[in-house]
């Protein structure tokens, strides 16, 4: 990830395209167009950048915000929180009426 940010070339551009296409397919599967609510692209950008930051920090197995990054237990906790956050931001048509 860091390498992609530092060195832009044909290969890193292709990785960006593949990642974006994969993410868009996942969003279409799990957040179909009939759901209302958040700006899904912006929500994804915030969550993904937070995850990227945690991954980069975890390489050093540092203590961050009271969490020991780089341990399986911490990642399980983080996954549960991310899941709750994303589910909490999705509003269906029925809920919006």
Domain boundaries, the chain: 1-30, 36-92
What DSSP designation does 68 have? E
For the residues 22-31, what does the mean pLDDT come to? 71
Q: Is the full-model pTM beyond 0.85?
A: no
The closest alpha carbon to 31, from 95, 94, 89, belongs to 89
Start-end of H helices in 7-71: 10-30, 40-58
For the residues 49-58, what does the mean pLDDT come to? 86
* pLDDT over 90 percentage in the chain: 14
Question: How far apart are alpha carbons 48 and 51 in whole angstroms?
Answer: 5
pLDDT of the residue at 13: 85
Token look-up 């397919």 returns 25
The pLDDT-based confidence of 86 (bands split at 50, 70, 90) is confident
The torsion angles phi and psi of 64, rounded to 5 degrees, stand at -140, 120
pLDDT of the residue at 32: 60
């Amino acid at each position: 990830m860091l390498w992609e940010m530092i060195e832009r070339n044909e290969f890193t551009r292709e990785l960006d395209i593949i990642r974006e296409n994969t993410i868009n397919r996942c969003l279409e599967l799990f957040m179909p167009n009939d759901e209302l609510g958040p700006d899904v692209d912006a929500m994804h950008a915030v969550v993904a950048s937070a995850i990227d930051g945690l991954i980069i920090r975890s390489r050093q197995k540092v203590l961050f915000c009271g969490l020991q990054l780089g341990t399986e237990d911490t990642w399980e906790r983080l996954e549960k929180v991310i899941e709750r956050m994303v589910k909490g931001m999705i509003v269906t048509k029925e809920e919006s009426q």
